[in-house]
Amino acid sequence: MQEIGPGRRKEFCSETCRRGADRDYKRAKAHVEFFEEQLRRTQHEVATYGRRADEGVLTADEVVRLQSEARVALVRASTVAELGGDQPERIRAELDALVAAVRPILDAGQTLLAVHTA
């Protein structure tokens, strides 16, 4: 039962429930991390034979490269947005570069999500 009074509404009915939910969250997160690591290792093993696991699935090296490019594009676009002033062409170019850098990562994430749910 929620007590009516000042302050924030409680998220859990008791400390026991909060600890149980925290434990379940950490366990689920560990499972996801374990299976993502297994997926990366398997993709790397397949890549060592010069083949790709499936069309549209990125190798570990490709993911690292795309993430690096996306980080650089995000920082550049953020800086231009803050300091761009009256330079709409430059802002447009940086935002286009950001989209181009981030889209493959999001598309790969959809592929990974499909693999995890299959």
Half-sphere exposure of 25 (CA within 13 A, CB side): 6
Per-residue pLDDT at 107 exceeds 60? yes
Question: Tell me: the pLDDT tens digits for 47-60?
Answer: 777 665 556 666 66
Between 35 and 53, the more confident residue is 35
Every domain of the chain and the residues it spans? 15-117
Question: Tell me: the pLDDT tens digits for 66-96?
Answer: 888 888 887 777 777 777 666 777 777 777 7
Q: Cβ neighbours of residue 47 under 8 Å, at least 6 residues apart?
A: 53, 59, 60, 61
Binning pLDDT at 50, 70 and 90, where does residue 25 land?
very high
pLDDT value at residue 54: 59
